[in-house]
Amino acid sequence: MAMNDDHAVFLELASLYAVHALPDDERRAFEEHLRSCDVCARELRSFDRAVAALLRGVPQIDPPASLRDAIVAPGQRAGATARVARNASRWSAGWLAAAAMLIGALGLARYTATLRRDLAGLRQELQSALIRLDQTEQRLDAATRSVNASQLRIAVLMAPDLARIDLAAQPLAPRAVGRAFWSRARGLVFTASALPTLPPGRTYQVWVITTDRPISAGTADPDDRGTITAFFATPPDIPAPVAMAVTDEPQGGLPSPTGNRYLVGSAH
């Protein structure tokens, strides 16, 4: 097609189209344009591998063995909507899958093997696996903080009760800026940039300040550009934050803040 003023706009749209970020009207307009524009078609094609990576690059988990039976068992092909029998409750099944994913991602081979056997076994096995997993709940809770960080952050961002708190620079870090997304149910995503490097033995600690007291969300160390991106599991029963702050504290953090303030922001 002939280049026209619209064309640069369409080329821009190719990346948005590739990740399905266009609303219907813009999507249709772009598809219409694609039919007659080789340049945009090539641009879109150039993202095929990136899109394939998004489709493929998710945490890999084994489906339950019962699913295979439901799909490949002879005699079920005629009924397109045959469903897997579900004796276990929806809650326990979902919980177990989430646990299996966490454990798998941790690389705890023995636990993974145990879980795989359970998942492949009879449905009653789910019940006993659940009891065993209950016992390791605390361990999983800790694991939650480090595993699958990206998914946890997204879960926070999709929370219906999402609140945002912007944190402003303080004299010790005049260029620093921070932002927190908090959900009572799902935890806290914290990002900050331009934080100075701390002396050895010191770490940044993130505080959720409630009407009662400051509660530690956790500690984090910036990368070499002074950037922090962290997910913190916060207790669901804490009062709503009125403010947040970032201080420097001894390695490992303290129960209440003692150090200098680097970022502060109020919840309003």
Contact 265, 178 (CB under 8 A): yes
Q: Which is nearer to other proteins, 117 or 164 (CB)?
A: 164
d(CA 244, CA 30): 43
Instruction: In angstroms, give the least distance from the CB of 235 to other proteins.
Output: 22
Contact 249, 261 (CB under 8 A): no
**Binder among 87, 94, 137, 251 for other proteins (CB under 8 A):** 94
Kindly state whether residue 123 participates in binding other proteins, applying the rule CB under 8 A. Answer: no
**Binder among 2, 4, 5, 24 for other proteins (CB under 8 A):** 24
Kind and range of the H or E element at 131?
A: helix 123-135
Kindly state whether residue 198 participates in binding other proteins, applying the rule CB under 8 A. Answer: no
d(CA 19, CA 43): 13
**Binder among 77, 132, 175, 213 for other proteins (CB under 8 A):** 77
Site size toward other proteins (CB under 8 A) is: 63
d(CA 123, CA 93): 10
* Contacting other proteins within 203-262 (CB under 8 A): 229
SS3 220: strand
Contact 239, 211 (CB under 8 A): yes
- Contacts with other proteins by CB under 8 A lie at 12, 15-16, 18-24, 27-28, 31, 45-50, 52-64, 67-68, 70-72, 74, 77, 80-84, 86, 90, 93-94, 96-98, 101, 150-151, 153-155, 157-158, 162, 164, 191, 229
